[in-house]
Structure 1
Amino acid sequence: MALVLSDLYIYPVKSLGGIRLTEAHISTRGLRHDRRWLIVNERNQFMTQRQTAAMAHLKVEPAFNGFLLRHNQRPDLLPLFVPFEATPEKTLFVTIWDDMVFAWRACPDCDEWLSDALGQPCKLVYMSDMVRRDVEPELNPGNKLVSFADGYPYLLVGKNSLAELNTRLVEPVGMERFRPNLVFSGGEAFEEDTWHEFRIGDAAFRAVRACGRCIFTTIDQKTAQKHPLKEPLRTLASYRTHDGSIMFGQNVTGPASGLLRLGDTVSVSSYK
C-alpha cells in the first residue's frame, strides 16, 4: 500500500491544542506558525501540560491571520484572539529546557486572560525570526533550527503505529495524545522507526531519532485528567522502551522552504 500524507498539524502555542491543515508551508523552523508562541511563568520558564495539566482545557481554533484560544470549561471567559506573529514592542529572556532565548511579549490582555484561565500568573511570548535555537548539535549536521518545540522541527507518526497501540489498550487513544506534525497512512506499524531520508511530495526530510514520550500522553485532552494507570504510557513501556526511554514517533528535520498538502506521496530513499 502506498505511503500518503494523511494529516498535517500545527500547534501555534507550545503545549496547547493543534490545528489540522489541508496544506502547510515549510519554514526554517518547521511548519509555518508551529510553536512560535510559548506560555511562561513568573520566572520566565516555559510551561507545559507535564506540570500544568489544566493547559489541556485551552483549545486552539483557526482565525483570520491568527487563532482563538478558548477555555472548554469556562464559558465566562470570552475567546482570546492571538495573531500568528507578534511585534517587538517589549522583549524578555525566557528559558525552555536548557536554552535561554529572547522573546517578544504579547499584549497585556493576553497575559491577563491566560493567568485567569490557568489560575496562576503567566505570560505569552513569541519567537521571532531573529532568534537562533539549534537542534541538538551532535545530531544536527545541517545546522537546523527549531521553534519552541521540545527539540526538533517535526514529529512524524504513522497511522498504523497508533492503530497497533490501540489494539493493546482497553480504552483507545487519539493521535492528539502524541502531537505529531506529520501523519502518514499505509505501511506497517512503526515502520517509521527504520526510515532515515524520505520525501513528502517534493520536500526532503531526515528522521533523526525516535521520540521519547512522557506523562503528557496520559492526559485526556478533553478533561485535562491524567489516566490513573498512566495509559497509554504504561502499555508503550512494555514493548517500546529503548535505553530507558519510551519511544513513539520520529523526530525529523526538513528543508527551509516548500509546501505540503494532504494526499502527498511519501517515499523513503534510505534507511537507518
Structure 2
Amino acid sequence: MPTLSAIYRYPVKSTAGESLSSARVLEEGLEQDRRFMVVKPDGSFVTARKYPALQRVVARFDGERLSLIHDDQVALTESRQAFALERFDTRVWADDFCALTTTIRLDAWMSRVVGEPVSLLWLGERSSRYRDLIETRVSFADGYPLLLTSEASLADVNTRTDGSHVMAQFRPNLVAGGTPAFVEDEWRRVRIGDVVFRVDAPCSRCVMITVDPERGERRAGGEPMRALMRYRKGADNNVYFGQNLVAENCGEVTVGQAIEVLE
C-alpha cells in the first residue's frame, strides 16, 4: 500500500518549503500554507517564475509571528499584532479578491529580495478567494488547495535527465511513497488518516520547475521541463506532473500513514 512519505507547506507563496512530520488539513489547504503573498503595487502577484531568488527565502508562521530569513538579508520577525490589516485588491491568475496588508518593514524586506517595490499581503484567518470551479475557498496557491506528487514519478524523471532534480522543484504538499511512477494519475479519491481527498485534476507545470531551490537560479538547459515535454505532454500541449487535490473534510495527516485508494 502506498504511504505518505513527506509533507510540505509554503507559508509565503513561492518561497522555500517547510518539511513537516504532520499537518492539519483545512478547507483551504494545509494549515498556514500560502497565507502570504508578494505583490506589485498594482496587486499582481510575484513568484519565483520571474524572481527565482524568492525560493531562497525561508518563511515560518505560527499564526502569531512571521519570520523571514535570506542569506543576503538581516533576518526579520514581525508580530501579527503589528499588521496594518488594510484591505488590498489583488489577484492570482484570473481570480480577483481582497487580502490584507502587513507592515512597512516586511514590504521593504521583500522589496530588497525582489529588487523592486513590492508588498507582502496576508490572507487573514479566512480567504476571500472562492473558486467556483472546485466549489471551495483557496489560499494564495495557484488554483487548488493541495498538490500531490510521488517519489517514483520524480525518480522516473531523473532517469531521463542528469538525475539531480529534487522534489522541491515541483513544490508539492503531499508526497506518496511505495508506488509505481505516475500511478497517481489513475487515482480519483484517496484517504490519508481520517481525511478524504478528491483527486481533481493533473497539475500543469511551468518554468518554475527549472529553478534550483538551493541557489535560487534557473538550471541550465531547461531541465526537467525538456524531458517532461517528451513524454508528459497532454493533448493541450501542457506538461503535467502531480495531481491537484481538494479535501472533502478536515483532519490531520502524518508522515508514514497509508494512502488508501478509494477510487
Equivalent residue number for residue 234 of structure 1? 226
SS of the counterpart of 1:238?
helix
Q: CA deviation at 1:70?
A: 1.4
- Whole-Å separation in 1 of the counterparts to 2:29 and 2:54: 23
1:40 maps onto 2:51 in alignment: no
Task: Give identity over the alignment, percent.
Answer: 34
Give the structure-1-normalised TM-score. Answer: 0.90
- Whole-Å separation in 2 of the counterparts to 1:176 and 1:248: 13
- Paired residues in the alignment total 262
Equivalent residue number for residue 189 of structure 2? 197
Equivalent residue number for residue 184 of structure 1? 176
- Indicate conservation of the 8 Å contact 2:11/2:61, yes or no: no
Q: CA deviation at 1:18?
A: 1.0
Residue pairs, 1:50-69, within 5 angstroms: 50-61=49-60, 65-69=64-68
Q: CA deviation at 1:62?
A: 6.6
- Whole-Å separation in 2 of the counterparts to 1:184 and 1:66: 31
Whichever residue aligns with residue 248 of structure 1, its letter is F
Q: CA distance change for structure 1 residues 131 and 57 in 2, over 3 Å: closer, same or farther? A: closer
- Whole-Å separation in 2 of the counterparts to 1:85 and 1:104: 13
SS of the counterpart of 1:49?
coil
Equivalent residue number for residue 258 of structure 2? 265
Match of 1:127 among 111, 123, 130: 123
C-alpha RMSD of matched pairs (Å): 1.9
Q: CA deviation at 1:33?
A: 0.4
Whichever residue aligns with residue 170 of structure 1, its letter is D
Moved more, 100-109 or 163-172: 163-172
- Whole-Å separation in 2 of the counterparts to 1:197 and 1:82: 39
- Whole-Å separation in 2 of the counterparts to 1:94 and 1:154: 21
SS of the counterpart of 1:179?
coil
For structure 1, the 5+ residue unaligned runs are none
Q: CA deviation at 1:87?
A: 5.1
Give the structure-2-normalised TM-score. Answer: 0.93
- Indicate conservation of the 8 Å contact 1:201/1:260, yes or no: yes
Equivalent residue number for residue 25 of structure 1? 24
Q: CA deviation at 1:89?
A: 3.2
- Indicate conservation of the 8 Å contact 1:85/1:126, yes or no: no
Whichever residue aligns with residue 198 of structure 2, its letter is R
- Indicate conservation of the 8 Å contact 1:39/1:125, yes or no: yes
- Whole-Å separation in 2 of the counterparts to 1:172 and 1:136: 39
- Whole-Å separation in 1 of the counterparts to 2:80 and 2:4: 24
Q: CA deviation at 1:128?
A: 2.3
1:94 maps onto 2:90 in alignment: yes
- Whole-Å separation in 2 of the counterparts to 1:181 and 1:32: 11
- Whole-Å separation in 2 of the counterparts to 1:49 and 1:86: 27
Q: CA distance change for structure 1 residues 121 and 100 in 2, over 3 Å: closer, same or farther? A: same
Moved more, 190-199 or 127-136: 127-136
Whichever residue aligns with residue 213 of structure 1, its letter is R
- Whole-Å separation in 2 of the counterparts to 1:61 and 1:129: 16
Q: CA distance change for structure 1 residues 85 and 101 in 2, over 3 Å: closer, same or farther? A: farther
1:147 maps onto 2:139 in alignment: yes
- Whole-Å separation in 2 of the counterparts to 1:260 and 1:38: 25
SS of the counterpart of 1:229?
helix
- Whole-Å separation in 2 of the counterparts to 1:88 and 1:263: 40
Q: CA distance change for structure 1 residues 256 and 88 in 2, over 3 Å: closer, same or farther? A: farther
Whichever residue aligns with residue 85 of structure 2, its letter is E
Q: CA deviation at 1:85?
A: 9.0
Moved more, 237-246 or 89-98: 89-98
